[in-house]
Amino acid sequence: MNLVSILIPIVTLIIGWKRIPLHYSLFAVILILFATIYPMGTANALTSVPRFMTVVFPVTIIFASIKWPRFDHIYLALTLPIFALNVLLFLNHYWVA
């Protein structure tokens, strides 16, 4: 799940970099690079990546600019199980924040 949290913003930026201004694209690239180049700890380096990728708001802007029919339903169907899994992990004290 941590690796997917890095791959989704990268793929989204590659596909939709023309939909947002250049400075937003550069901001997103810098945030993604910073999160991957300077990992937190050495045992499990990608532990904090999902939290760091939530602040890459240009990815959300790209998703919001997609005008495909039913894209919002597909997006919700994919992210709702991930949200539920994270809630269950949090409730079982798998991670704190």
Same domain flag for 53 and 36 = yes
Q: What is the DSSP letter of 47?
A: T
The Cα 84–Cα 21 span in angstroms is 33
What is the total count of domains within the chain? 2
Same domain flag for 62 and 92 = no
Is the predicted pLDDT of residue 72 greater than 90, yes or no?
Answer: no
Same domain flag for 51 and 76 = no
Parent domain of 41: 2-66
Same domain flag for 35 and 54 = yes
Range list of H helices, 38-93: 49-53, 57-65, 71-91
* pLDDT number for residue 22: 92
Mean pLDDT of 7-33: 91
Same domain flag for 72 and 56 = no
Same domain flag for 9 and 48 = yes
Is the predicted pLDDT of residue 62 greater than 80, yes or no?
Answer: yes
* pLDDT number for residue 43: 66
- Residue carrying structure tokens 């791959």: 7
The Cα 76–Cα 24 span in angstroms is 24
Amino acid at 73: H
Largest CA distance in the chain: 43
